[in-house]
Structure 1
Amino acid sequence: MFFGFAVVYGLRVNLSVAMVAMVNNTSGQPSTNNSSLQECPVTPSTLDPAVLMGLCHPGVPFRGVLLWVPADPDTRGLPGGASRGADLPGWGVVSTAALTLLTPLAAEMGASWLFALRALEGFGEGVTFPAMMAMWARWAPPLERSRLMTFSGAGANFGAFIALPLTAFICHTLGWPAVFYCCGGAGCLWGLFWFILVADEPCSHPRISVHERDYIINSIGSQGGSHGWSVPLIPMLLSVPLWSIILTQMCANWAYYTLLTSLPTYMDTVLHFDLRQNGFMSALPYLGAWLFSVMSGVMADNLLEREILSITAVRKIFTLTGLLLPAAFLVAVGFAGCSGVLAVTFLTLSTSLGGTSAAGVFINQIDIAPRYAGVLLGITNTFGTIPGVVAPIAVGYLTKDHSLAGWRNVFCVSAGVSAVGAVIFTLFGSGKIQSWALGDEEVESETEGGHSERQTYGHI
């Protein structure tokens, strides 16, 4: 799962760096109307016409400048915009990878073709996350959920960390079409290993030990049972804890997608890093997020194991840490001016601390309804993609004059949205299994002896 998420996010972010090389500036020179060029000094290396025109490197095979790709940031941002069974997440990644192989062809055919292709890739990615959440409901013992889910989910940050500089390197040495061939090929290779090594649930895995199989099945109990096609839709729609997850994830994703899709553009148009510097500097924040998300999962499980805090308290603490502190550093980025060192430092601190929310709201679905974890993630993930569409468009609108003030507004808006999410989850979030998510056996147990968060995690 870790490498699966890494592949998915590598496929998602490769365009944000490659777009810098694909864009055609019609004059071949920096625009004199670009106020950010006037506000921040430009080193001679960044004025290399080969880089500005997307030629990547002299002598490297290239399919020509894409005249349809405008320098308008509004258009640059647009392309970045219930399951059971181990096969579904596998096919989700493989189908996305296969479509990625067609990106150079679609780009040559025109902007509409590229947008349509990226939309289809989004459908492939969309089934991956709910399917994997549903699998964890059957594989992750309650006291190991945080570390297992955050470790596997951290593959997303790892994928961004690897893909951003690697994309820049491939583009610089082989040309931008090779970016999509390499990334798509890696996804198809991952699919081969997934189908060989992974099974739907412990009892059907051909290589698991009897001891491990019994431990997982007994610790999860009826929580990992199948719900079939019976889903309590009305209680879900009226569930305050579920809506708190939805709204908080939307707020958190606003900042995440803003950086994921627009950071290379900021590095290029404001800080004036060249293509290879751009890839490395854009990737650096995701290294910290990867490490912090893994550590947060271990810490959360330790707190639950020692019964120091309730599940609700743990999820709220990590959500607050992962939203409020990053928001403060995003504001600092907006006021870093032309200092590349300060901007990258604040961005790295913001994104790194944001990784702690992985042990908070982002795995809360499996706390409140383990039986329907895949369905809930499908719902929250659907709402969570809205910022992925709206945020890049908002960035394009706010930065249409390419000024420092415009980018300051981008970072401050993202910080404010994150803070709103933190408040929502603090007031309305919960770690208790909801009554509509209980099976018949659990309902009888609750009727006889009551039901609490600590009982849910303490039966092992």
Structure 2
Amino acid sequence: MARLLGSSNPVLNERSDEITPLLGKQEDESAPPQCCSARCNLAALMFFGFAVVYGLRVNLSVAMVAMVNGTNAQPSSNSSEEQGCPSSGPSLNGSSSSEQAGGAPRYPWDSATQGYLLGAFFFGYLVTQIPGGYLAGHLGGRIFLGGGVLGTAGLTLLTPLAAGLGVPWLFALRALEGFGEGVTFPAMMAMWARWAPPLERSSLISFSGAGASCGAFLALPLTGFICHNLGWPAVFYCCGGGGCLWAVFWFCLVTDEPQSHPRISKRERDYIVNSIGSQGSAHGWKVPVLPMLLSVPLWAIIISQMCANWSYYTLLTSLPIYMDTVLHFNLQQNGFLSALPYLGGGLFSMLSGVMADKLLERKLLSVTAVRKIFTLTGLLLPAAFLAAMGFVGCNQSLAVIFLTVSSTIGGTSAAGVFVNQIDIAPRYAGMLLGITNTFGTIPGVVAPIAVGYFTKDSQHLLLGWRNVFLVSAAVSAAGALIFTIFGSGKVQRWTLSDNDDGTEGSGRAG
């Protein structure tokens, strides 16, 4: 697709529509320490915010195992039982009612219905990405990030009621939750466009975004524990209450920009404002839509993010089902082992952000080279382990190891394609993330449905899940290749306002 947009040699050529990023301005600036700084406190609040966001997003994945009556989700009679893994003990679907407390209801949802319910969130999530990014870039991201989490948390409290009313009600509720949560990531990027000095972008954004992995890591085992001890409805009450509590701290402590922050030091405020320059200002109501549509680097982000998200959302929504129906882990083991890959992914995403900023600060590599290296590492290597997952058979240990290593290495892409929007268009970073996340959410809708299709007649068999892992690996590898060829770290000329002189950086470009 990028070739159709007019790039004759897109790898590392100097293009006439690009300029260098704003790195040179900080060479003579003395950066105030990050410890206890306003920008570090903002990153910490975002970290916990996205932990809550992902807790709200993934709670249904594990709770689904406890909500479904297993006798109605068995494979068809013509399935080849000899291809399945033997159960080493009682699984959830064959367990007694003591597996979960409180006499919580169970529902006769087959694998296809489960896939649609797990994907329902992303139908709403698609709708608000671009409007959220656009409005956050113009009005500020505080109200959109905080309001998105608060609204989603409130709706989560209604999940047990919706499930009791029927599948259409639960589907609609999950879609509304996605609608509210869709503004959160674009709002985050819009805020960092005003708060993050160029040489700290990778670490600040990667750290705040790592809250998502932390949220998944904590939510998955806690969901299993709560289901077992309190019943699955308590999962949604706890997650919803946590989101409402976080929103109180967010609205009390956060401002849209450093100039209006009541507790920031003058040194830190001047450092942030001077290092970012005019690119940290809000954009107007008019945006350069046509140049965006014709931007090869933007399409490289879009396609690569879609490819990366395919495997991510496949694991996020369907891994607990694989752990239950194929590997036969019990409910509490399922929650912990499904969460383990996200611990490594979160740690590696934070580490990769620090490493990327160090490489840029010391001018060892260009911005483009840094983004491509971390993207290639974070997509191609995990793809190899995902492909191997299709052939581990019933070896539980190998399955857990391969999944954990794949997701851990995948965390390095946080300093690559997932932060690249703010490199190429700082002023429009929120809107660009809304655009890329809109396309990147499509796998969230399609992947659970595809898993349901692959495993429809053989959910307890290895062949269907082998296809799931091989498709995910192929898609991830394609994303790595596309970004390596067409990606860029240069500020695009169409992002400059009339007041910009086009020479805002003297640092190395790539």
* Common fold: TM-score over 0.5: yes
Percent identity between the two aligned chains: 71
Q: Is the Cα contact below 8 Å between 2:121 and 2:174 reproduced in 1?
A: yes
The amino acid of 2:215's aligned partner reads G
**Which of the numbers 102, 106, 110 marks the counterpart of 1:61?**
102
**Which of the numbers 34, 59, 74 marks the counterpart of 1:14?**
59
- Distance, in Å, in 1 between the alignment partners of 2:82 and 2:153 is 37
The reply on whether 1:162 has 2:218 as its aligned counterpart is: yes
Unaligned stretches of 5+ residues in structure 1: none
Q: Is the Cα contact below 8 Å between 2:73 and 2:111 reproduced in 1?
A: no
- Distance, in Å, in 2 between the alignment partners of 1:382 and 1:435 is 24
Q: Is the Cα contact below 8 Å between 1:93 and 1:125 reproduced in 2?
A: yes
Per-residue deviation, residues 33-61 of structure 1 (Å, max 9, x unmatched)? 6656862121233277445xxx4636x21
| Inter-CA distance 368–75: structure 2 relative to 1 (3 Å threshold) | closer
The reply on whether 1:424 has 2:469 as its aligned counterpart is: no
Unaligned stretches of 5+ residues in structure 2: 1-45, 123-133
The amino acid of 1:57's aligned partner reads E
- Distance, in Å, in 2 between the alignment partners of 1:325 and 1:296 is 15
| Inter-CA distance 438–322: structure 2 relative to 1 (3 Å threshold) | same
Q: Which runs of 4+ in 1 moved over 2 A?
A: 25-39, 44-51, 55-58, 62-67, 69-81, 439-446, 451-456
| Inter-CA distance 34–192: structure 2 relative to 1 (3 Å threshold) | farther
Q: What is the deviation of 1:398?
A: 1.1
Q: What is the deviation of 1:453?
A: 5.7
Q: Is the Cα contact below 8 Å between 2:301 and 2:420 reproduced in 1?
A: yes
- Distance, in Å, in 2 between the alignment partners of 1:277 and 1:37 is 25
- Partner residue of 1:383? 439
**Which of the numbers 263, 270, 281 marks the counterpart of 1:225?**
281
- Partner residue of 1:443? 501
Query: What is the DSSP-based 3-state SS (H/G/I as helix, E as strand, rest coil) of the residue aligned with 1:45?
Result: coil
The amino acid of 1:426's aligned partner reads T
Q: What is the deviation of 1:228?
A: 1.8
- Distance, in Å, in 1 between the alignment partners of 2:308 and 2:163 is 31
Q: What is the deviation of 1:88?
A: 1.3
> Which structure ranks higher in relative contact order (CA pairs < 8 Å, sequence separation ≥ 6)?
2
- Distance, in Å, in 1 between the alignment partners of 2:92 and 2:184 is 41
**Which of the numbers 351, 355, 368 marks the counterpart of 1:299?**
355
**Which of the numbers 323, 326, 331 marks the counterpart of 1:267?**
323
Q: Is the Cα contact below 8 Å between 2:387 and 2:473 reproduced in 1?
A: yes
Per-residue deviation, residues 200-234 of structure 1 (Å, max 9, x unmatched)? 10010111111111111111111101112121000
The amino acid of 2:182's aligned partner reads G
Query: What is the DSSP-based 3-state SS (H/G/I as helix, E as strand, rest coil) of the residue aligned with 2:303?
Result: helix
**Which of the numbers 395, 409, 415 marks the counterpart of 1:353?**
409
- Distance, in Å, in 2 between the alignment partners of 1:266 and 1:94 is 31
**Which of the numbers 57, 70, 82 marks the counterpart of 2:110?**
70
Per-residue deviation, residues 209-268 of structure 1 (Å, max 9, x unmatched)? 111111111111111011121210000000000000000000000000000001001001
- Partner residue of 1:147? 203
Query: What is the DSSP-based 3-state SS (H/G/I as helix, E as strand, rest coil) of the residue aligned with 1:445?
Result: coil
- Partner residue of 2:28? none
- Partner residue of 2:300? 244
Q: What is the deviation of 1:338?
A: 0.3
- Partner residue of 1:214? 270
Report how many aligned residue pairs link the two structures.
Answer: 447
Q: What is the deviation of 1:169?
A: 0.2
- Distance, in Å, in 2 between the alignment partners of 1:429 and 1:29 is 45
- Partner residue of 2:31? none
- Distance, in Å, in 1 between the alignment partners of 2:436 and 2:404 is 27
Q: What is the deviation of 1:157?
A: 0.4
Per-residue deviation, residues 339-359 of structure 1 (Å, max 9, x unmatched)? 010000000000000000000
Counting only pairs closer than 5 Å after superposition, residues 36-435 of structure 1 correspond to structure 2 as 39-46=84-91, 49-50=94-95, 55=97, 57=99, 60-67=101-108, 69-72=109-112, 74-75=115-116, 77-81=118-122, 82=134, 83=136, 84-85=139-140, 86-400=142-456, 401-402=458-459, 403-435=461-493
TM-score (norm. length: structure 1): 0.93
Q: Is the Cα contact below 8 Å between 1:16 and 1:264 reproduced in 2?
A: yes
Q: Is the Cα contact below 8 Å between 1:431 and 1:453 reproduced in 2?
A: no
